Amino acid sequence: MPVLRYVYVLSLVVWLGGMVVLGALVAPTTFQVLQAADPESGRVLAGEVFGAMVARFHVLSYGAGALLLASLLAIAVLGPRPRHFAVRVGLIVGMLAVSAYSGFVVLSDIEQVQREAGTLPSRLPADDARRQAFDRLHELSERLMMVNMAAALVLLAWETRE
C-alpha cells in the first residue's frame, strides 16, 4: 500500500510541479533570453521552443494522470477507500480531460493560426482576426492550465491531511 501511495503522490507532484515550472520559470526565461539574444527573431524562436516544451509536457501529463488514477483506484481496491474518493476520481478524470482538450484541440488550433498568419501572430495588427484568434487560444491555454493547477492543489491538500 505505501508503494501505491508513493506512486500517487509522485505522479501528482510531477504533474503539478511541471505546470508551475513551465508557467513561472520556463516561459518567461525562454522569451526573455531569446529576445535579448536576437531582438529580430528571438521571440519567434522562443515561441517555437516553448510550444515544443508544452507539447511534450502534455504527453508527460497524460502519463502522470493515468498513473495518478490507476494508483488511486488500486488503493481503493486493496485497502480502505481514501476520503473523498469519488471527488478525487472526478478531479483526476477532469484534469485528464482538460489536459487532453488543451493538448489535442487548443494546441493544434494555435498551430493552425500560426500557419495561416505566416508570421508571429503578435506582429499582426491588433484588429487582425488571426491575432485575435491566437490571443484567445493562448489565454484559453493558460486558463486550462490554471484549472488543472487548482485541481492538483486540492488533491495535494487532501494528501497532506492523511
**Cell numbers placing 61:** 501529463
Query: What are the φ/ψ torsions at residue 39 (nearest 5 degrees)?
Result: -60, -30
Written as one string, the DSSP assignment of 77-94 is: HHSSPPTTHHHHHHHHHH
What's the pLDDT score for residue 117?
87
- 16: exposed, middle or buried (Cβ count in 10 Å: 0-12, 13-18, 19+): buried
| pLDDT by 10s per residue, the chain, length 162 | 799 999 999 999 999 999 999 999 999 999 999 999 999 889 889 988 999 999 999 999 999 999 999 999 999 999 899 999 999 999 999 999 999 999 999 999 999 998 898 877 878 899 999 999 999 999 999 999 999 999 999 999 999 987
